[in-house]
Amino acid sequence: MTSVAKTFRNALLAATFAAGLSVPALAKDASVEVTVDTATTGPVIDKHIFGQFAEHLGTGIYGGVWVGKDSPIPNVRGIRTDVVTALKALKVPNVRWPGGCFADEYHWRDGIGPVDKRRVQINTNWGGVPESNAFGTHEFMDFAEQIGSEAYISVNIGSGTAAEASAWIEYMTAEKDTTLAKERAANGHPAPWKVPILGLGNENWGCGGAMSADHYVEEMKRFANFTRNFNPAQREGAARMKRIAVGWDSDKLDYTEEVMKAWSTHVYSWDIEGVSLHKYTVGGGWPPSRPSTGFGNDDYALMIGDTLSMDTLLKKQKAIMDKYDPEKKLLIAVDEWGAWLAPTPGSNPGFLQQQNSMRDGVIAALNLNIFARHADRVKIANIAQMINVLQAMILTDGSKMVLTPTYHVFRMYVPFQDAQFAPVKFASGDYAVGERKIPRVDAMAAKDKSGQVWVSLVNVDPDAGTSVTIPGFRTASGEVLTAPKVDSVNTFAAPSVVAPKAISGKASGNGVTIALPPRSVTVVKVSK
Ligand code: AHR
């Protein structure tokens, strides 16, 4: 590049950075400079954006988590040990349960007491299979405790009553000798549990009861009024139970608007702490039909473009919320997100089973980076779903278990939990296939509680490597996740095709340079 061109480009970059935008790099494989601003105090990236979602759906619970106490598959009180060990490494902050659509047909009393007396019902949403209710409140709380996580409980607004929801919270949280606390003790758990997050329904415009936004708001207010936490230690300050009202999904703007309007004039008897947003990466059309393996670069770019629209949706939801809540008292919970693809051939289509490729790893990283950039409002997120369903962390088949590329990304991102967001500036450049263009590179950075700076670098380009220079730092070390192909997957027979490897940078000029392989996610700690 000539010096005139360099001067022009630097001026362009400076102006663009001031506006918080990125510009295309000049050449397809040009190296990228990522400037990390550690002086600006950004918001904390709440650990709860790394939350998971476990619905009674397919083999997400039965087979994936719960095998029963008498199973030959190693387990602790019916919960499979291999899965617990793997999930502990993710430091899962919260698990959303029991749904999803299942939540609005769930009656908690069906899932307590002697297992052989529990009601067997049909899971009407997911495959029409019998639901034994063998996995109920005690089993879920045990699972959450075994993996070191917290509970995000969704109560049934669609087909349940406020009294039922209130009694469930009392059963879980009351510490005094109420009848329900005694019943909990008689069922094996004298100590109250913590319920830090409570969902007030789920997608109530659809499977949650086909309610108009106005109707939902009236129901939600009543439920918010009566769903008190019965434990004083879970009512105040940071420990206060957060109630999440149903907000937007990709085409239901009215829910967020009506919820916020109602909240802005709410009376003392009810309150909420957040509003949800659901967004699946589908690549267009319904039902989801994009294959989870055997796709080309065009399909890859289509899915990446779709996933990046999460940013647009968040901006729209934030604009609505800012109108009614400029002080940002309410949070956004993106409590369902991830890739929703065509079902694995031969599987029950109602079980939403799909493979998970390197592309899913890239999708996970890009979304987590978007949530971090919106950390001022986005305080909770739950990928759909934890095991065997949609964009899963883990796939199981009988006693076999395999970790997916998405699992590895979540593990590599652990240092970002509760770290302080540090703005980055970079010129992403474009990756183009046909008419379709997507940003070639993505970057996100944060400072952890010890002051260590961590940087995530995503090379979205499926074919070309690139190098990134971070000025002001001299060392970089961490892990990189890449794969032979963008649709490479881990299988029970070949579980380590997509697995993280060590990576480090080299001091160069006034910074440190890291060579990023194509289709890769890298997380490094950088030092001066
Ligand atoms: O995650 C699968 C389903 O997607 C959930 O049950 C529902 O809330 C959403 O439509």
Tens digit of each residue's pLDDT (9 = 90 or more) over 99-145 = 999 999 999 999 999 999 999 999 999 999 999 999 999 999 999 99
Give the pLDDT confidence score for residue 211 in this predicted structure: 96
Neighbours of 333 (CB within 10 A): 31
Give the pLDDT confidence score for residue 17 in this predicted structure: 32
Q: What spacing in Å lies between the alpha carbon of 101 and ligand 1's midpoint?
A: 6
Instruction: Kindly report, residue by residue over 224-274, the tens digit of the pLDDT.
Output: 999 999 999 999 999 999 999 999 987 778 999 999 999 999 988 999 999
Give the model's confidence band at 23: pLDDT under 50 very low, under 70 low, under 90 confident, else very high.
very low
**344 and 479 housed in the same domain:** no
Q: Is the CB of 203 under 6 A from ligand 1?
A: yes
Q: Is the CB of 42 under 6 A from ligand 1?
A: no
Q: Is the CB of 199 under 6 A from ligand 1?
A: no
Q: Which helix (H) or strand (E) holds 454?
A: strand 453-459
Chosen domain end from 422, 438, 458: 422
**441 and 497 housed in the same domain:** yes
Residue 26 placed within a domain: no
Give the pLDDT confidence score for residue 28 in this predicted structure: 56
**66 and 210 housed in the same domain:** yes
**418 and 431 housed in the same domain:** no
Q: What spacing in Å lies between the alpha carbon of 292 and ligand 1's midpoint?
A: 18
Atom in ligand 1 nearest the alpha carbon of residue 208: 8
Q: What spacing in Å lies between the alpha carbon of 384 and ligand 1's midpoint?
A: 8
Residue 482 placed within a domain: yes
**503 and 385 housed in the same domain:** no
> 423 with 258: CB under 8 angstroms?
no
What is the total count of domains within the chain?
2
Is residue 336 part of the annotated active site? The answer reads yes
Question: Using CA atoms, how far apart are residues 33 and 217, in angstroms rounded to an integer?
Answer: 47
Neighbours of 315 (CB within 10 A): 10
**405 and 466 housed in the same domain:** no
Helices (H), 269-390: 297-324, 358-373
By alpha-carbon position, which residue is closest to atom 4 of ligand 1? 100
Of 52, 53, 55, 95, best ligand 1 pocket probe by most atoms within 8 Å of the beta carbon: 55
Strand partners, 44: 420
Query: Which among 33, 203, 219, 273 is annotated as catalytic?
Result: 203
Q: Is the CB of 55 under 6 A from ligand 1?
A: yes
Question: Using CA atoms, how far apart are residues 429 and 506, in angstroms rounded to an integer?
Answer: 23
**255 and 268 housed in the same domain:** yes
Atom in ligand 1 nearest the alpha carbon of residue 99: 6
Q: Can you give the residue range of the structural domain that contains 523? A: 32-41+423-527
Instruction: Kindly report, residue by residue over 454-507, the tens digit of the pLDDT.
Output: 999 999 999 999 999 999 999 999 999 999 999 999 999 999 999 999 999 999
Of 207, 353, 387, best ligand 1 pocket probe by most atoms within 8 Å of the beta carbon: 207
By alpha-carbon position, which residue is closest to atom 9 of ligand 1? 100
Give the pLDDT confidence score for residue 253 in this predicted structure: 84
Q: What spacing in Å lies between the alpha carbon of 381 and ligand 1's midpoint?
A: 14
pLDDT beyond 60 at 22: no
**186 and 115 housed in the same domain:** yes
CATH code for the domain of 522: 2.60.40.1180
**492 and 512 housed in the same domain:** yes
**184 and 110 housed in the same domain:** yes
Give the pLDDT confidence score for residue 122 in this predicted structure: 97
Q: What spacing in Å lies between the alpha carbon of 26 and ligand 1's midpoint?
A: 42
**409 and 427 housed in the same domain:** no
Give the pLDDT confidence score for residue 27 in this predicted structure: 53
Residue 204 placed within a domain: yes
Q: Copy the structure tokens of residue 35.
A: 């400037």
Atom in ligand 1 nearest the alpha carbon of residue 101: 6
> 333 with 276: CB under 8 angstroms?
yes
By alpha-carbon position, which residue is closest to atom 6 of ligand 1? 100
By alpha-carbon position, which residue is closest to atom 3 of ligand 1? 100
Residue 431 placed within a domain: yes
Residue 331 placed within a domain: yes
Q: Is the CB of 34 under 6 A from ligand 1?
A: no
CB pairs under 8 A, 24+ apart, for 281-289?
281/306, 281/307, 281/310, 281/337, 281/338, 281/339, 281/340, 281/363, 282/306, 282/339, 282/340, 288/340, 288/341, 288/342, 289/342
Dihedral angle of Cα 146, 147, 150, 152, to the nearest 10 degrees: -100
Q: What spacing in Å lies between the alpha carbon of 30 and ligand 1's midpoint?
A: 41
Residue 463 placed within a domain: yes
> 46 with 379: CB under 8 angstroms?
yes
Report helix, strand or coil for 335. Answer: strand
Instruction: Kindly report, residue by residue over 314-346, the tens digit of the pLDDT.
Output: 999 999 999 999 999 999 999 999 999 999 999
By alpha-carbon position, which residue is closest to atom 8 of ligand 1? 100
CATH code for the domain of 329: 3.20.20.80
Q: Is the CB of 282 under 6 A from ligand 1?
A: no
**36 and 50 housed in the same domain:** no
Q: Is the CB of 105 under 6 A from ligand 1?
A: no
Among candidates 333, 295, 264, 291, which has minimal Cα distance to 96?
333
Give the pLDDT confidence score for residue 497 in this predicted structure: 98
Position with higher pLDDT, 449 vs 41: 449
Instruction: Kindly report, residue by residue over 133-158, the tens digit of the pLDDT.
Output: 999 999 999 999 999 999 999 999 99
Mean pLDDT of 158-178: 96
Chosen domain end from 400, 422, 444: 422
Model pTM score: 0.94
Give the model's confidence band at 21: pLDDT under 50 very low, under 70 low, under 90 confident, else very high.
very low
Q: What spacing in Å lies between the alpha carbon of 146 and ligand 1's midpoint?
A: 25
Residue 144 placed within a domain: yes
pLDDT beyond 60 at 2: no
Atom in ligand 1 nearest the alpha carbon of residue 385: 1
Give the pLDDT confidence score for residue 176 in this predicted structure: 79
Q: What spacing in Å lies between the alpha carbon of 290 and ligand 1's midpoint?
A: 17
Chosen domain end from 422, 457, 480: 422
* Distance spanning both ends of the chain, measured CA to CA: 28
Residue 237 placed within a domain: yes
Q: Is the CB of 100 under 6 A from ligand 1?
A: yes
Report helix, strand or coil for 263. Answer: helix
Relative to beta strand 150-155, strand 197-200 is parallel
Give the pLDDT confidence score for residue 14 in this predicted structure: 33
Give the model's confidence band at 8: pLDDT under 50 very low, under 70 low, under 90 confident, else very high.
very low
Q: What is the mean pLDDT of the chain?
A: 93
